[in-house]
Amino acid sequence: MPELPEVEVTRRALAPHVEGRTLESVAVRERRLRWPVPLRLHEQLAGRRVERIDRRGKYLLWRFAHGTLISHLGMSGTWRVWPREPGRPVPLPQVHDHIDLLFRAHCIRLTDPRRFGALLWSAVADGPVEGHPLLAGLGIEPFDPGFSGEWLYRLTRSRSAPIKQVLLAGDVVVGVGNIYASESLFRAGINPKLPARRLGRARCGLLAAAISEVLAEAIAVGGSTLRDFVGADGVAGYFMNDAFVYERAGQACRLCATPITRVLQGQRATYYCRRCQRR
Protein backbone atom coordinates (compact mmCIF):
# COMPACT_ATOMS: atom_id res chain seq x y z
CA MET A 1 0.00 0.00 0.00
CA PRO A 2 1.48 3.37 -0.94
CA GLU A 3 2.35 5.43 2.11
CA LEU A 4 3.06 9.14 2.45
CA PRO A 5 6.59 9.02 0.97
CA GLU A 6 5.37 7.19 -2.14
CA VAL A 7 2.58 9.72 -2.57
CA GLU A 8 4.95 12.66 -2.12
CA VAL A 9 7.36 11.20 -4.68
CA THR A 10 4.43 10.75 -7.06
CA ARG A 11 3.47 14.40 -6.52
CA ARG A 12 7.00 15.54 -7.30
CA ALA A 13 7.06 13.38 -10.43
CA LEU A 14 3.74 14.75 -11.68
CA ALA A 15 4.21 18.43 -10.82
CA PRO A 16 6.48 19.50 -13.71
CA HIS A 17 4.14 17.86 -16.24
CA VAL A 18 0.84 19.23 -14.94
CA GLU A 19 1.35 22.48 -13.03
CA GLY A 20 0.39 25.48 -15.13
CA ARG A 21 -0.79 23.19 -17.95
CA THR A 22 -4.22 22.92 -19.49
CA LEU A 23 -6.07 19.62 -19.33
CA GLU A 24 -7.35 18.77 -22.81
CA SER A 25 -9.55 15.82 -21.97
CA VAL A 26 -10.39 13.20 -19.39
CA ALA A 27 -11.00 9.57 -20.35
CA VAL A 28 -12.71 7.46 -17.70
CA ARG A 29 -12.83 3.77 -18.65
CA GLU A 30 -13.80 2.45 -15.21
CA ARG A 31 -15.80 4.51 -12.73
CA ARG A 32 -15.96 1.91 -10.00
CA LEU A 33 -13.09 2.91 -7.75
CA ARG A 34 -13.49 3.14 -3.98
CA TRP A 35 -16.17 5.72 -4.69
CA PRO A 36 -17.70 6.26 -8.14
CA VAL A 37 -15.67 8.63 -10.31
CA PRO A 38 -17.92 11.67 -11.10
CA LEU A 39 -19.85 11.23 -14.36
CA ARG A 40 -19.18 14.71 -15.68
CA LEU A 41 -15.47 14.88 -14.95
CA HIS A 42 -14.54 15.58 -18.57
CA GLU A 43 -17.07 18.44 -18.84
CA GLN A 44 -15.86 19.85 -15.52
CA LEU A 45 -12.15 19.76 -16.34
CA ALA A 46 -11.53 19.87 -20.10
CA GLY A 47 -9.90 23.15 -21.12
CA ARG A 48 -9.09 24.07 -17.52
CA ARG A 49 -5.62 24.74 -16.18
CA VAL A 50 -4.04 22.87 -13.24
CA GLU A 51 -2.63 25.62 -11.05
CA ARG A 52 -0.80 23.42 -8.59
CA ILE A 53 -0.63 19.88 -7.29
CA ASP A 54 -0.45 19.57 -3.50
CA ARG A 55 -0.43 16.67 -1.09
CA ARG A 56 -2.48 16.36 2.10
CA GLY A 57 -1.80 13.11 3.93
CA LYS A 58 -2.01 10.48 1.20
CA TYR A 59 -4.33 12.57 -0.98
CA LEU A 60 -3.13 14.49 -4.01
CA LEU A 61 -4.94 17.77 -4.56
CA TRP A 62 -5.00 18.93 -8.19
CA ARG A 63 -5.96 22.57 -7.80
CA PHE A 64 -7.91 24.35 -10.53
CA ALA A 65 -9.36 27.87 -10.32
CA HIS A 66 -12.89 26.42 -10.04
CA GLY A 67 -12.20 23.50 -7.70
CA THR A 68 -9.91 20.65 -6.70
CA LEU A 69 -9.55 17.15 -8.04
CA ILE A 70 -8.84 14.85 -5.09
CA SER A 71 -7.01 11.62 -5.85
CA HIS A 72 -5.88 8.71 -3.68
CA LEU A 73 -3.82 5.68 -4.67
CA GLY A 74 -5.69 3.26 -2.40
CA MET A 75 -3.97 -0.13 -2.09
CA SER A 76 -2.40 -0.47 -5.49
CA GLY A 77 -2.75 2.73 -7.52
CA THR A 78 -0.05 4.45 -9.57
CA TRP A 79 -0.01 7.54 -11.76
CA ARG A 80 2.26 7.24 -14.76
CA VAL A 81 3.42 9.89 -17.17
CA TRP A 82 3.55 9.01 -20.86
CA PRO A 83 4.88 11.53 -23.38
CA ARG A 84 2.60 12.38 -26.32
CA GLU A 85 4.97 12.80 -29.21
CA PRO A 86 4.69 12.26 -32.96
CA GLY A 87 5.83 8.77 -33.83
CA ARG A 88 5.73 7.67 -30.21
CA PRO A 89 2.15 6.69 -29.39
CA VAL A 90 0.97 6.34 -25.81
CA PRO A 91 0.57 2.60 -25.13
CA LEU A 92 -2.99 1.30 -25.48
CA PRO A 93 -4.71 1.16 -22.09
CA GLN A 94 -4.58 -2.20 -20.35
CA VAL A 95 -7.32 -3.71 -18.22
CA HIS A 96 -6.34 -1.87 -15.01
CA ASP A 97 -5.64 1.51 -16.67
CA HIS A 98 -8.84 3.23 -15.55
CA ILE A 99 -8.31 6.97 -16.12
CA ASP A 100 -6.30 9.13 -18.55
CA LEU A 101 -5.75 12.84 -17.99
CA LEU A 102 -4.62 14.16 -21.36
CA PHE A 103 -2.42 17.24 -21.56
CA ARG A 104 -0.89 18.54 -24.79
CA ALA A 105 2.49 16.94 -24.17
CA HIS A 106 1.66 14.12 -21.74
CA CYS A 107 -0.87 11.48 -20.85
CA ILE A 108 -1.17 11.02 -17.10
CA ARG A 109 -2.63 7.56 -16.51
CA LEU A 110 -4.10 6.04 -13.36
CA THR A 111 -3.58 2.30 -13.03
CA ASP A 112 -5.24 0.58 -10.08
CA PRO A 113 -5.70 -3.23 -10.13
CA ARG A 114 -7.54 -3.41 -6.81
CA ARG A 115 -9.65 -0.26 -7.40
CA PHE A 116 -9.43 1.05 -3.82
CA GLY A 117 -8.13 4.35 -5.16
CA ALA A 118 -10.24 7.46 -5.57
CA LEU A 119 -10.79 10.38 -7.92
CA LEU A 120 -13.29 12.98 -6.70
CA TRP A 121 -14.16 16.56 -7.56
CA SER A 122 -14.63 19.33 -5.01
CA ALA A 123 -15.95 22.55 -6.53
CA VAL A 124 -15.01 25.96 -5.13
CA ALA A 125 -18.76 26.50 -4.67
CA ASP A 126 -18.78 23.63 -2.13
CA GLY A 127 -16.36 25.47 0.16
CA PRO A 128 -12.62 25.05 0.84
CA VAL A 129 -11.35 21.58 -0.09
CA GLU A 130 -9.67 21.35 3.33
CA GLY A 131 -13.17 20.96 4.77
CA HIS A 132 -13.99 18.00 2.51
CA PRO A 133 -15.13 14.99 4.60
CA LEU A 134 -12.07 12.98 3.49
CA LEU A 135 -9.64 15.69 4.58
CA ALA A 136 -11.28 17.44 7.53
CA GLY A 137 -10.30 14.84 10.15
CA LEU A 138 -6.67 14.48 9.15
CA GLY A 139 -3.93 15.20 11.68
CA ILE A 140 -1.09 17.65 11.17
CA GLU A 141 1.46 17.09 8.39
CA PRO A 142 4.74 15.57 9.66
CA PHE A 143 6.71 18.35 7.93
CA ASP A 144 4.52 21.15 9.28
CA PRO A 145 6.59 23.42 11.57
CA GLY A 146 3.81 22.96 14.14
CA PHE A 147 4.49 19.23 14.42
CA SER A 148 6.75 18.78 17.42
CA GLY A 149 7.25 16.81 20.60
CA GLU A 150 5.01 19.29 22.37
CA TRP A 151 2.27 18.68 19.77
CA LEU A 152 2.57 14.91 20.20
CA TYR A 153 2.56 15.30 23.97
CA ARG A 154 -0.56 17.48 24.04
CA LEU A 155 -2.58 15.26 21.69
CA THR A 156 -1.80 11.99 23.44
CA ARG A 157 -2.69 12.86 27.06
CA SER A 158 -6.07 11.10 26.89
CA ARG A 159 -5.00 8.26 24.59
CA SER A 160 -4.57 4.95 26.39
CA ALA A 161 -4.09 2.92 23.18
CA PRO A 162 -0.55 1.76 22.36
CA ILE A 163 1.53 4.52 20.77
CA LYS A 164 1.97 2.50 17.55
CA GLN A 165 -1.79 2.34 17.04
CA VAL A 166 -2.25 6.01 17.85
CA LEU A 167 0.29 6.85 15.15
CA LEU A 168 -1.52 4.64 12.61
CA ALA A 169 -4.87 6.29 13.37
CA GLY A 170 -3.68 9.41 11.54
CA ASP A 171 -5.61 11.97 13.57
CA VAL A 172 -2.58 13.10 15.60
CA VAL A 173 -0.15 13.22 12.67
CA VAL A 174 -0.77 11.98 9.11
CA GLY A 175 1.37 9.72 6.99
CA VAL A 176 2.83 7.37 9.59
CA GLY A 177 1.76 4.02 8.16
CA ASN A 178 2.78 0.58 9.35
CA ILE A 179 6.34 0.56 8.04
CA TYR A 180 7.26 4.05 9.11
CA ALA A 181 5.60 3.70 12.53
CA SER A 182 7.75 0.67 13.36
CA GLU A 183 10.90 2.35 12.06
CA SER A 184 10.23 5.66 13.85
CA LEU A 185 9.58 3.95 17.18
CA PHE A 186 12.80 1.98 16.80
CA ARG A 187 14.76 5.13 16.06
CA ALA A 188 13.28 6.81 19.13
CA GLY A 189 13.90 3.72 21.29
CA ILE A 190 10.24 3.55 22.31
CA ASN A 191 8.30 0.32 22.92
CA PRO A 192 5.38 0.25 20.42
CA LYS A 193 3.07 -1.28 23.05
CA LEU A 194 3.44 1.62 25.46
CA PRO A 195 0.15 3.46 26.12
CA ALA A 196 0.46 6.78 24.30
CA ARG A 197 -0.47 8.87 27.33
CA ARG A 198 2.48 7.48 29.28
CA LEU A 199 4.98 9.09 26.92
CA GLY A 200 6.56 12.08 28.64
CA ARG A 201 7.71 15.24 26.94
CA ALA A 202 11.24 13.97 26.33
CA ARG A 203 10.09 10.79 24.60
CA CYS A 204 7.52 12.72 22.57
CA GLY A 205 10.34 14.98 21.39
CA LEU A 206 12.45 12.01 20.32
CA LEU A 207 9.52 10.39 18.55
CA ALA A 208 8.45 13.52 16.66
CA ALA A 209 12.02 14.01 15.43
CA ALA A 210 12.29 10.33 14.44
CA ILE A 211 9.03 10.46 12.44
CA SER A 212 10.09 13.52 10.44
CA GLU A 213 13.54 12.03 9.78
CA VAL A 214 12.33 8.59 8.72
CA LEU A 215 9.74 10.03 6.31
CA ALA A 216 12.16 12.59 4.87
CA GLU A 217 14.76 9.88 4.26
CA ALA A 218 12.20 7.66 2.53
CA ILE A 219 11.18 10.56 0.26
CA ALA A 220 14.83 11.23 -0.56
CA VAL A 221 15.41 7.57 -1.50
CA GLY A 222 12.21 7.57 -3.58
CA GLY A 223 13.15 10.83 -5.24
CA SER A 224 16.27 9.24 -6.61
CA THR A 225 14.05 6.82 -8.56
CA LEU A 226 12.03 9.62 -10.17
CA ARG A 227 13.69 9.23 -13.54
CA ASP A 228 12.54 5.62 -13.72
CA PHE A 229 9.05 6.63 -12.68
CA VAL A 230 8.32 8.84 -15.65
CA GLY A 231 6.93 6.73 -18.47
CA ALA A 232 8.14 3.53 -16.93
CA ASP A 233 7.24 1.39 -13.99
CA GLY A 234 5.39 3.70 -11.65
CA VAL A 235 6.45 4.15 -8.07
CA ALA A 236 7.41 0.66 -7.03
CA GLY A 237 7.69 -0.76 -3.55
CA TYR A 238 8.66 1.10 -0.43
CA PHE A 239 11.57 3.42 -0.03
CA MET A 240 12.98 1.50 2.87
CA ASN A 241 15.91 -0.45 1.54
CA ASP A 242 17.60 -0.91 4.88
CA ALA A 243 14.84 -1.17 7.48
CA PHE A 244 16.03 -1.60 11.05
CA VAL A 245 13.03 -3.63 12.21
CA TYR A 246 10.25 -3.81 9.59
CA GLU A 247 9.80 -7.38 8.28
CA ARG A 248 12.98 -8.46 10.08
CA ALA A 249 11.38 -10.82 12.65
CA GLY A 250 13.98 -13.16 14.12
CA GLN A 251 16.89 -11.39 12.45
CA ALA A 252 19.58 -9.70 14.51
CA CYS A 253 18.97 -6.08 15.53
CA ARG A 254 21.39 -3.91 13.57
CA LEU A 255 22.38 -2.13 16.78
CA CYS A 256 22.48 -4.80 19.50
CA ALA A 257 22.07 -8.18 17.70
CA THR A 258 18.97 -9.14 19.74
CA PRO A 259 16.48 -10.99 17.47
CA ILE A 260 13.76 -8.64 16.26
CA THR A 261 10.32 -9.35 17.76
CA ARG A 262 7.07 -9.43 15.75
CA VAL A 263 3.72 -8.88 17.46
CA LEU A 264 0.22 -8.17 16.19
CA GLN A 265 -1.39 -4.89 17.20
CA GLY A 266 -4.93 -4.34 15.89
CA GLN A 267 -4.39 -6.96 13.14
CA ARG A 268 -1.21 -5.20 11.96
CA ALA A 269 2.28 -6.60 12.38
CA THR A 270 4.60 -4.56 14.56
CA TYR A 271 8.34 -5.18 14.59
CA TYR A 272 10.62 -4.00 17.38
CA CYS A 273 13.78 -4.71 19.35
CA ARG A 274 13.04 -5.65 22.96
CA ARG A 275 16.44 -4.40 24.02
CA CYS A 276 16.75 -1.13 22.11
CA GLN A 277 13.10 -0.11 22.61
CA ARG A 278 12.71 -0.07 26.36
CA ARG A 279 11.95 3.60 26.81
Q: Which residues bind Zn ion (CB under 5 A)?
A: 253, 255-256, 258, 273, 275-276
Q: 3 catalytic, yes or no?
A: yes
Please identify, using beta-carbon distances, which residue of 163 and 276 lies nearer to Zn ion.
276
Give me the catalytic one of 11, 58, 80, 109.
Answer: 58
Q: Which residue is nearest to Zn ion (CB)?
A: 253
Q: 268 catalytic, yes or no?
A: yes
- Min dist. Cβ of residue 194 to Zn ion (A): 16
Please identify, using beta-carbon distances, which residue of 160 and 258 lies nearer to Zn ion.
258
What distance in Å separates the CA atoms of residue 106 and residue 86, rounded to the nearest whole number?
12
- Min dist. Cβ of residue 245 to Zn ion (A): 9
- Min dist. Cβ of residue 33 to Zn ion (A): 42
- Min dist. Cβ of residue 273 to Zn ion (A): 3
Q: 193 catalytic, yes or no?
A: no
Q: 58 catalytic, yes or no?
A: yes
Please identify, using beta-carbon distances, which residue of 172 and 253 lies nearer to Zn ion.
253
Give me the catalytic one of 49, 262, 268, 279.
Answer: 268
Give me the catalytic one of 2, 5, 142, 192.
Answer: 2
Please identify, using beta-carbon distances, which residue of 212 and 261 lies nearer to Zn ion.
261
Enumerate the active-site residues: 2-3, 58, 268
